[in-house]
Amino acid sequence: MRPLRWLYTLPLRLRSLLRRGQADRDLDEELAYHIAQRTEQYIGDGLAPTDARAAALREWRGVEQLKEECRDMRKVSFIQDLAGDIRYGLRQMAAGKGFTIAVAASLALGIGANTAIFSLMDAVLFEMLPVKQPRQLVMLRWSAKGWPDVVRDLEGNSGEDARTGRSWSESFPYPVYEQLRDRNHVFSQTFAFAANTPRVNISMRGRAEAANAVMVSGNYFGGLGVYAAQGRAILPRDDVADAPPIAVLSHRFWQRRFGEDPSVVGKTMAVNGTPFTIAGIAPAEFFGLEPGTSPDLFVPLSQYPYLLPEYSAAAAESAGQAPPPLTRDTRNWWLVLTGRLLPGQSAERAQAELAVLFAQSIGKAGKAADPKTPVLETLPASQGLDGLRTQFSRPLFVLMAMVGAILLMACANAAGMLLARAAARQREIAVRLSLGARRSRLIRQLLTESAMLAVLGGAAGVLLARWASTVLLAWLSSGRHPLVVALHLDARILAFTLAVSVLTGVLFGLAPAWQATRVDVGPALKQGGGSGGRATGRFRSGRMLVAGQVALCLLLLVSAGLFLRTLRNLESTDLGFRPDHLLQFSVQPGLNGYQGARLIDYYRELGERIQSIPGVRSVGLSEHALVGSGVSTSDALIPGYTEGKRRVDLHRNGVSPGFFETMGIPLVLGRRIEAHDTPRAPKVAVVNEKLVRKHFHGDSPIGHILRFGDEKQPSDFEIVGVVKDAKYSQLRDEAPPTVYMSYLQESVVWSALTFEVRAETDPRALAPAIRQQALAQDKDVPLVDIKTQTEAVAQELVQERVFARLASLFGALALVLACIGLYGTMAYTVARRTGEIGIRMAIGARPLDILGMVLRESVRVVLIGSAAGLAAAVAATRLIRSQLYGLSPHDPLVLTGAALVLLAVTMLAACIPARRASRVDPLRALRNE
């Protein structure tokens, strides 16, 4: 019945508020009518008109006062009551400052943590690209079973769908792009960009440094609706083969490198030695289509020969022939294609038409039945490429769950404190109820108080969140691929915070408010809140709250334990090599035009120079660093061990003779790569034990052949040695079957290699000397990514480390909250039951018995909570299985450890009220009763 009445009266109240003027006039008219009637009556009784009117008016002891009274009734009681409630609430809060601070602080922590995680989630998961109408953007992807024969080289995002067994990729060849662009009827613009962002050497004003470049089609900026902040963006006329090379700098790069100097527009800078004109600066928030990345410059696709050394003029010279132009190569899949749907066009229709066009463009029209035929599909691209989201969405949801638990605990704490305080205010409430106050009114007032506390906590929480999310972002950015997102404190975040605050206020205010007003007026008034009131002697609801908090606390402690152990396991996992005292860095001389013999000489000379530095034990180099770089794989035949034409996938790495010794990978059999393994010598390979186990079934592989290449041009490598397994790129996985060959005996010597240097003492201390040697050799070739091996490993573990840190933080926080809750509740119960304790002592209980009694009650609460928490932990931790390493989510060590910690700490907290109980002076207690 009550909500119905509320609904009815609300329009009335709103109307009175809005039409105050009209209401006043109505009131005047109404009263005037009454006075007129009265006057008429007096006239009828025989008075003269003026006297009659005077008499009528005199009856009303003050018309204005009456009007005021009526207006008071009319006044929107809701808002007025609310204002009164707020004033009253403020007074209460000021009166109990300690209480207010305690509640507001614990709420601030809960709300702040939630807001911080949410703003990160928002930036990573929900943020749309800062381009025109992102919802119209659509990206293309293809999938097939197995490796299609039309694909020779593949770059960019790819993967395998575990469910269907199909592999997918987001890259297409240039000719396919042209065909789709020119022949479709569904896109207003079709544009492309390179899937990989190659590193380039930038040289300007005498300074050389490395930068990332995104190659984009001429209509990229136009299609996205992005306009240059300075100068101009890339236009279609820039994307032709002989157009003068231009580049558009990203805003971030412009800030960092040029200090936002507007005069750089129009100047020239050398990119890999070729002069490029800086045409303009991209707008501040624009980062391309891959959220979380931060490209430094954008160049037209047609300029690829200057950015990809294998297509440069110098490469053509040394190889004797030019490679097929990338723009004509149908088997090199390197472009990501995106289109903007025409208005009214649906993504499904677009997909249907494009799928047909695609099949035609790769010559597979009508061959859809063959599972190996790539099939096109479209994806919404409003949020850009998926990489960031898939990487972070699960972890973020887990974090959200954890902070949600913290918030619940903070609410439970606040509710407990409010319950206790409400019980103390029982007398006041009873008095007000007996004077006729409506119960709903009192509840509303109590709710307003708790909502105010929550809003106070929320405001503090927003400040906390600002700081916390910046710190969190910094932590997450210390990895190999720094996470670059812009955190805004925008309306959505604030709305979220407000909603959470108000919800929190209602949540923890409702139960206490309800219970408090369920008071039996009579007894409450009489006993003045001694040990009266309903069921507050045992404070059952308070103890249930504590049990709930204990359960949540255990859950968080268990997660903390699991993440900590995962991190520990990963950090101490056997890498297969010795990461101590190792420094690594990369060089990319190919970008400066080094080719063929000159390139080989460069590497050799640099290696010798570094070896000559005092403090250097040994030097090695490899195509890939073992940790923190990509991998190379090839398939090969092993005559005698693979049947017929079946090829096996092997990981490979081209290395120098000093590699194994520098990395500390022990030799097991045969020999390592040595100096006499030159390009002209017979091709040899060293394999790891895993390869032997998997493909040679334990036989000695020495002398056997690994046949790479293909049928027409096989490339045979003789196995001359076996080394111990070493991790390759993935820390979590076992070492894959790996073959090492001399980097000189590869079909092509790589234009960029990684050097590893083993130092006698501190590897970091060698960095300046190494840099000096490299500059002395060639000042235009910068050293890239200088770090120690331990740093490289640490960079791989950023997410795990952040999680372990956060989980521990939350676990500690939860412990604090649970202890406060338990302490508060037990202290309150003890205070309430002073009389009972006094009686017990009077009839012979010893202080120790009382102590035991209180402790037993505490233990019971904690045990119940722990049992619930354990059940929840067993159920919930399964969800984070994928993030763990080296232990099961139900690891008994972690579970028991967490439970013990919880028990120990909470018992400590319960000791204080227990001791106070045992110290009760029975005489005084009984007197008060």
Partner 1 sequence: MSKPADLVQGTLDLLILKMLALEPLNGWAISQRLKQVSGDVLQVSDGSLYPALHKLEQEGWIAAEWKPSENNRRAKYYSLTRLGRGKLNQESADWVRLSGAISRVVRLKEA
Q: Does 66 bind partner 1 (CB under 8 A)?
A: yes
Q: What angle, 0 to 180 degrees and rounded to 10, lies between the N-to-C axes of helices 426-434 and 439-476?
A: 140
User: Which position among 43, 47, 55, 70 is part of the footprint of partner 1 (CB under 8 A)?
Assistant: 70
Report the residue number, 78 or 99, with the smaller CB distance to partner 1: 78
Quick check: 26 binds partner 1 (CB under 8 A)? Answer: yes
In the complex with partner 1, the residue whose CB is nearer, 41 or 761, is 41
The answer to whether 717 and 684 are in contact (CB under 8 A) is yes
How big is the chain, counted in residues?
929
* DSSP string for 10-67: HHHHHHHHHTHHHHHHHHHHHHHHHHHHHHHHHHHHT--HHHHHHHHHHHSS-HHHHH
Which of helix, strand or coil describes residue 696? Answer: coil
Which of 18, 22, 29, 842 binds partner 1 (CB under 8 A)? It is: 29
How near is the Cβ of 522 to partner 1 at its closest, in Å?
A: 17
CB of 442 to partner 1, least distance (A): 17
* Residue 434 CB, nearest approach to partner 1 (Å): 14
Q: For residue 28, state whether it binds partner 1 (rule: CB under 8 A).
A: no
| Interaction of residue 434 with partner 1, rule CB under 8 A | no
The nearer residue to partner 1, 15 or 568, going by C-beta atoms, is 15
The answer to whether residue 311 forms part of the interface with partner 1 (CB under 8 A) is no
Q: Is 16 in the site for partner 1 (CB under 8 A)?
A: yes
Stretch that binds partner 1, among 66-74, 161-169, 642-650, 872-880 (CB under 8 A): 66-74
CA distance 754 to 587: 7
The window from 2-10, 239-247, 355-363, 721-729 that contacts partner 1 (CB under 8 A) reads 2-10
Stretch that binds partner 1, among 33-41, 183-191, 360-368, 584-592 (CB under 8 A): 33-41
Q: What angle do CA 210, 213, 218 make, to 5 degrees?
A: 155
Q: Which two tokens stand for residue 818?
A: 């649970």
Rounded distance between C-alpha atoms, residue 355 and residue 312, angstroms:
34
Question: Counting contacts by CB under 8 A, is residue 5 touching partner 1?
Answer: yes
419 contacts 541 by C-beta, under 8 angstroms: yes
Tokens of 64: 């204005």
Which of 43, 55, 60, 484 binds partner 1 (CB under 8 A)? It is 60
Distance between CA 428 and CA 413 in Å, rounded? Answer: 23
Please give the C-alpha separations between residue 498 and each of 495, 501, 505, in angstroms, as whole numbers.
Answer: 5, 5, 10
Note every long-range contact of 386-390, with CB atoms under 8 Å and residues 24 or more positions apart, other chains counting.
Answer: 386/157, 387/157, 387/290, 387/292, 388/124, 388/290, 388/291, 388/292, 388/483, 389/124, 389/125, 389/291
AA letter at 171: S
Residues 223-282, interacting with partner 1 (CB under 8 A): none
Binding piece for partner 1, criterion CB under 8 A, among 67-75, 653-661, 717-725, 871-879: 67-75
- Give dist(CA 73, CA 77) in Å, integer: 8
Q: Please state, in angstroms and rounded to a whole number, the distance separating the CA atoms of residues 269 and 248.
A: 11
Least distance between partner 1 and beta carbon 425 (Å): 27
Nearest to partner 1 of 57, 748 (CB atom): 57
* Cβ partners under 8 Å of residue 42, min gap 6: 51, 52, 53, 55, 56
Q: Which of 13, 389, 480, 534 binds partner 1 (CB under 8 A)?
A: 13
Binding residue (CB under 8 A) for partner 1 from 73, 241, 369, 904 = 73
Q: Which of 20, 24, 38, 668 binds partner 1 (CB under 8 A)?
A: 38
Q: How far is the CB of 489 from partner 1 (least distance, A)?
A: 41
**In angstroms, what is the minimal distance from the CB of 61 to partner 1?**
6
Nearer to partner 1, 28 or 161 (CB): 28
User: In this chain, which stretch among 71-79, 419-427, 604-612, 825-833 interacts with partner 1, using CB under 8 A?
Assistant: 71-79
Under the binding rule (CB under 8 A), the answer on residue 79 touching partner 1 is no
Residue with tokens 């000379």: 605
Cβ of residue 523: shortest distance to partner 1, in angstroms?
Answer: 22
Instruction: Establish if 74 lies at the interface with partner 1 (CB under 8 A).
Output: yes
Give min distance, CB of 74 to partner 1, in A: 6
Query: Does 435 participate in binding partner 1 (rule CB under 8 A)?
Result: no
Minimum separation from the CB atom of position 443 to partner 1 (A): 18
Binding of partner 1 by 37 (CB under 8 A): yes
- How many of the other CB atoms lie within 10 Å of CB of 86? 15
Pairing of strands 738-742, 684-688: antiparallel
**Which range in 36-44, 195-203, 224-232, 293-301 contacts partner 1 by CB under 8 A?**
36-44
Report the half-sphere exposure of 612 (CA within 13 A, side-chain side). Answer: 9
Dmax over CA atoms of the chain, in Å, equals: 139
Q: Is the dihedral of CA 603, 676, 724, 736 positive or negative?
A: positive
Does 1 help bind partner 1 (rule: CB under 8 A)? yes
Residue with Cβ nearer partner 1 (38 or 724): 38
Write down the least CB distance from residue 924 to partner 1, Å.
44
Shortest distance (Å) from residue 451 CB to partner 1: 24
Please, what is the minimum distance in Å from the beta carbon of residue 870 to partner 1?
52
Shortest distance, CB of residue 518 to partner 1, whole angstroms? 21
Give whichever of 37 and 761 is closer to partner 1, judged by the CB atom: 37
Residue 361 CB partners (closer than 8 Å, separation 6+): 175, 176, 179, 180
Distances (CA, A) of 489 to 122, 463, 804: 10, 10, 26
**Site map 847..886 versus partner 1, x via CB under 8 A:** ----------------------------------------
We find the least distance from the C-beta atom of residue 514 to partner 1, in angstroms, to be: 23
Are 586 and 784 contacting, i.e. CB atoms less than 8 angstroms apart?
Answer: yes
Which DSSP state fits 333? Answer: E
Q: Which of 108, 304, 37 is nearest to 194 (CA)?
A: 304
Q: How far is the CB of 50 from partner 1 (least distance, A)?
A: 20
Among 28, 51, 69, 921, binds partner 1 (CB under 8 A): 69
Nearest CB to partner 1, comparing residues 4 and 848? 4
| Separation between Cα atoms, residue 880 and residue 394, nearest integer Å | 9
User: 28, 48, 49, 59: which one contacts partner 1 (CB under 8 A)?
Assistant: 59
Q: Is 9 in the site for partner 1 (CB under 8 A)?
A: yes
Q: Residues 17, 31, 347, 853: which binds partner 1 (CB under 8 A)?
A: 31
Does 437 sit near partner 1 (CB under 8 A)? no
12 touching partner 1, by CB under 8 A: yes
Identify the CA nearest to 483 among candidates 394, 402, 387, 624. 387
Burial 148-184 (b: 16+ CB within 10 A, else e): bebbeebbbbbeeeeeeebbbbbbbbbbbbebbbeeb
Element (H, E) at 463: helix 439-476
Residue whose CB is less far from partner 1, 33 or 147: 33
Interface with partner 1 (CB under 8 A), residue from 18, 22, 28, 36 = 36
Contact predicate 869/811, CB 8 Å: no
**8: contact with partner 1 by CB under 8 A:** yes
How near is the Cβ of 56 to partner 1 at its closest, in Å? 10
Q: Which residues bind partner 1 (CB under 8 A)?
A: 1, 4-5, 8-9, 12-13, 16, 26-27, 29-31, 33-34, 36-38, 59-61, 66, 69-70, 72-74, 77
